[in-house]
Structures are given as structure tokens and as C-alpha cells.
Amino acid sequence: MSQSLEYRLVIKNLPFGITNSGKDQKLNIHMLLNDIQSNLGRFELNRNNMGILLNIDWTKAISDIRKNMEKNFFMDELYTEFEKYKDKYESVNDFINERFIEIPKETEVVIVATVTNVNIVTLDQSIKNFIYHLFLALNLSYPGFINCYYARLLSPKDSEELTLSNNGFEECWSNENWPIIKYIPINTVCNWFNKNNIWNKFISETRLDKCLFSLLHFCEESKISPSKIVWLAHALESIYEIPQSAILYSLKDRISIVLYENYEEERSKISKKNQ
């Protein structure tokens, strides 16, 4: 007998927090919103021989994000917009505050899971794992689109706070050098995920898996964390087929140069520990 259970992903930090000019980026967000329901609305997963059918309702999230875009501005656009209406306001802060009152403070995505012979622990784990992959897919499509830092996953019996930050993706737009960042249509990302069976992955099995999982670990770390460097190193090693931990050895070597006066002696100690 099949059973349907409802989960809710409550997102507190809506997209559109970046500071550089964004006419093209606004257009890209609208394109993503137009395609999100048709591409990310239905999934079939399998975990421990338990088939899971997911139906995802993006209606409220799409509406709230559009409202956010109508009332919000990139910083350089904000002052241009203020100039049009400055006679009505005593200061730019009054202008900003009035607009921000109308901006949704949070939104939610509703996920209905239909399963047969449900194992609630396995199902909860599968839904959380799926949301991690969803976070990754959306931020690969449009870097910075979804932020699950302080988001809440509401299950039928519990509530869990997530700590997936999109800062690392969002900051890509501020770098005008190589590599050039651009919007990738969400259907292209979904096809790539499907081809590599990423939606069902719990444990990394390939170089690609290791790279993507390292990025997720990177996004879970606190904003200032030395281990972020390690996770990025793992991701790069996986992409470029560098021998495992080769980048870590290089990092330790460089750190030793900065921290120790007796560099050669400390380098020798570190080398012995790694053998």
C-alpha cells in the first residue's frame, strides 16, 4: 500500500543579494523561474530498494522570488532608481525601507513523497540528500540562486536546520577574470545530473561525485574555515586527476614557509608524518 508524506523546505534567504550590475542576471533568473517547475517538479528515486516518487510544488517560491526581484535592486541600480523618486523621500534609507517592507522575508518549496512500505528514517535521509543535490543543481545553473543557510526542512515528525550557504557560488559573479561565469539552462543541468545518476547518489563513486560532494562540504562549512581550502583542494584533485592529497602536501609546504623560521627542519617533520 502506497503512502504520501509532505515535506517543506522553508528558505529564509531569497536570491538576488549580489552587488554588481545585473540586467542580464535578472533576465537569467526569470528564465530559470520559467523553467523550474517543468524541470524540477517530479523525480523518481530509489534507496535501499524503496522506490520514492517526489512531486515538488514551486508555486509559492516562484511567486515570492518574482516579488523579491520587483522590489529589490543591485546596489548600483538602487541609487539610480532613488534619483527618480528622491523628492518623495527624506533619505535613501527611507526609500530602501519602504521597498523592503514589501519584499517576502521567506518562502517555501513543498515536496510530496509517495512510497510503498515506507521506512521513515530512510525516507527522511533520502529527502535531505535530494535537497542537497537540488541546491547544487540550481547553483550550477545560476550561481547564487538558492541559499539554504538557516533554511528549515520540515518533515511529518521533525524539523531540521540546514547550513548550506551559496556564498561561494554567488561570489563568482564578482570575478571578471577567468573562468567566465554564465547562466546554464536548468534543463541542461538536469540532463547532466540524470546522465550521471547524481540525484540518487549518497556516496561518491567517481571523480565527478567526489568533486560535487566536496563542493557540498565546502558550502556547509562556516564562512571562515580553514577546512574550506581542503575541500576545494579535493574538488580540484578530482577534476584534474591529480594524485590524491597532492594538493594538500603542497598547501602544507607553503604554510610551513610562512609559519616556521626553520623551514627545512619543519618540512622534514611534515614529510615523515605523511609517509
The three-state (H, E, C) secondary structure of 243-271, written as one string = CCCHHHHHHHHHHHHHHCCCHHHHHHHHH
Q: Find the domain containing 74 and state its range.
A: 2-200
Residue 144 lies in a domain: yes
Confirm whether 273 is domain-assigned. no
Q: Do 108 and 15 contact (CB within 8 A), yes or no?
A: no
Q: Residue 238 falls within a domain, yes or no? A: no
> Higher confidence at residue 259 or residue 17?
259
What does 120-182 look like in DSSP terms, one character per residue? HHHHHHHHHHHHHHHHHHHHHHSTTS-BEEEEEEE-SS-EEEEEE--HHHHGGGG--SSSPP-
Least confident of 20-24, 73-77, 104-108, 178-182: 20-24
Q: Between residues 22 and 89, which one has the greater pLDDT? A: 89
Q: What pLDDT is attached to residue 115?
A: 95
Rounded to whole angstroms, the Cα distance separating 36 from 59 reads 10
**Bridge partners, residue 147, by sequence:** 13
Tens digit of each residue's pLDDT (9 = 90 or more) over 240-271: 565 555 556 666 666 665 555 555 565 565 55
Q: Do residues 183 and 31 touch, judged by C-beta distance below 8 A?
A: yes
> Rounded mean pLDDT of 97-106?
78
- Assess if residue 185 is contained within a domain: yes
Handedness of CA 40, 44, 45, 51 (dihedral sign): positive
Residue 257 lies in a domain: no
Classify residue 226: in a domain, yes or no: no
Residue with grid cell 520540515, as numbered in its chain: 154
**CA 119 to centroid of chain Cα atoms:** 28
Residue ranges of alpha helices (H) inside 44-102 are 59-71, 75-85, 92-101
Q: How many CB atoms are located within 10 Å of the residue 156 CB?
A: 11
Residue 261 lies in a domain: no
Q: Is the per-residue pLDDT at 137 higher than 60?
A: yes
Q: What is the pTM of this model?
A: 0.78
Mean pLDDT of the chain: 81
Q: What is the pLDDT of residues 116-129, one digit of tens each?
A: 888 999 999 999 99
Q: Is the pLDDT of residue 97 over 80?
A: no
Alpha-carbon distance of 67 to 38, in angstroms, equals 21
% of the chain at pLDDT higher than 90: 37
Whether the predicted pLDDT of 227 surpasses 80 = no
Residue 58 lies in a domain: yes
Counting the structural domains of the chain, the total is 1
Cell of 230: 581542503
CB count in 10 Å sphere of residue 193: 20
Alpha carbon distance, N-terminus to C-terminus of the chain: 56
Judged against a pLDDT cut of 90, whether residue 216 lies above it is answered with no
The answer, yes or no, to whether the previous bond of 179 is cis (omega within 30 of 0) is: yes
The pLDDT-based confidence of 153 (bands split at 50, 70, 90) is very high
pLDDT digits (tens, 9 = 90+) for 196-213: 999 999 887 887 888 888
As given in the structure block, the three cell numbers for residue 128 are: 535531505
DSSP 3-state assignment of 49?
coil
Identify the weakest region by mean pLDDT among 28-42, 75-89, 132-146, 197-211.
75-89
pLDDT at 21: 46
Identity at 164, one-letter amino acid code: L
State the DSSP H helix or E strand holding residue 239, giving kind and residue range, or none if neither.
helix 227-240
The pLDDT score that the predictor gives to residue 168 is 80
Question: What is the pLDDT averaged over residues 52-57?
Answer: 97
